[in-house]
Amino acid sequence: MIDFSYCTGLRAGELVRATLGSIEVDAHGDHWLHVVGKGSKSGKVVLPGMARGVLDRQLAQRGFPVTPAKWDPATPLLGSLDGEAGITSKRLWAIVKRFFATAAGVLAEANPALAEKLRRATPHWTRHTHATHALQRGAELTTVRDNLRHASLSTTSMYLHSDDVRRAKQIGGAFEAPAA
């Protein structure tokens, strides 16, 4: 569930409302998830291989077919393991918070700063992490903006903060003062 959220960048509400019928494969073989997002705006996000693998495993755990031709379009992407119903935003929040709290406990001694970040993490944090990692791995700013469905490029550009460190090192290294 967290992997799916991380690699798609979906908002929590979009994630819990999505159904198998929302998935489309285009003429190029790319997988898309159609969502209704903030402000009731329709959009679509890419379903990369990692998301499809997570979905297949989750469907199998729930006893549903993983073959798209056999899907019931009304089946929620995320559901409880003990039934067909989807999960609520409140339940998703609780699951994610519990996961991050557990991870924080494991990391507390070795990396207290990261553990503290994890204790404060929310489901929306995976969306921020999705954007930051996509940009760090070479995705264009406009591509990330479109996948997150931001109205403005300036909203998406806030995820470039971590690039400042890399930029300073690279430019600093390229124009280092000669040794005296």
Q: Which residues are catalytic?
A: 11, 38, 124, 127, 150, 159
| Cα–Cα distance for residue pair 100/173, rounded to 1 Å | 37
Rounded to 5°, angle at Cα 7 from 102 and 124:
55
Residue with tokens 């997570």: 54
Q: What is the radius of gyration, based on Cα positions, of the chain?
A: 19
> Sign of the C-alpha dihedral, residues 23, 142, 36, 137?
positive
Count CA atoms closer than 13 A to 123's CA, side-chain side.
20
- C-alpha dist (Å) from residue 162 to 2, 48, 113, 119: 22, 23, 16, 21
